């Protein structure tokens, strides 16, 4: 089973320089910590769960927030 699948159909992947994106997220959402934004390849689901919890937002909202900061692919 793919741990990165969302709603069984969509797969979320971090694209681009995560250190830049995480800094932008911290600027926009001051409640996010370095620990919340720690990224490990293959563990995108863990990242999403931490950010969801901290921001009290649904997964789809968190994915949209993160995608807005990613470079166009």
* Residue 57 maps to a domain: yes
Tell me, what's the pLDDT at 43?
92
Inside any domain, residue 25: yes
Greater pLDDT, 41 or 4: 41
Residue numbers of the domain that contains 21:
17-68
Our count of domains for the chain comes to 1
Q: What is the pLDDT of residue 71?
A: 82
pLDDT band of residue 2 (cuts 50, 70, 90) is very low
In a domain, 64, yes or no: yes
10 has pLDDT over 80: no
Nearest CA to 25 out of 67, 70, 66 is that of: 66
- Per-residue pLDDT, averaged over 20-31, amounts to 95
pLDDT over 70 (residue 30):
yes
Beta bridge partners of 5: 11
Contacts of 71 (CB under 8 A, 6+ apart): 15, 16
Please indicate, yes or no, if residue 5 is contained in any of the structural domains: no
**7 part of a folded domain:** no
Cα end-to-end distance, the chain, whole Å? 25
pLDDT digits (tens, 9 = 90+) for 44-57: 999 999 999 999 99
Residue 4 forms part of a structural domain: no
């Amino acid at each position: 089973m793919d741990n990165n699948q969302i709603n069984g159909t969509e797969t979320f992947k971090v694209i681009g320089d995560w250190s830049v994106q995480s800094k932008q997220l911290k600027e926009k959402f001051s409640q996010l910590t370095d620990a919340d934004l720690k990224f490990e390849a293959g563990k995108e689901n863990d990242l999403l769960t931490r950010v969801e919890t901290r921001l009290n937002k649904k997964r789809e909202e968190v994915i949209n927030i993160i995608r807005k900061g990613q470079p166009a692919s």
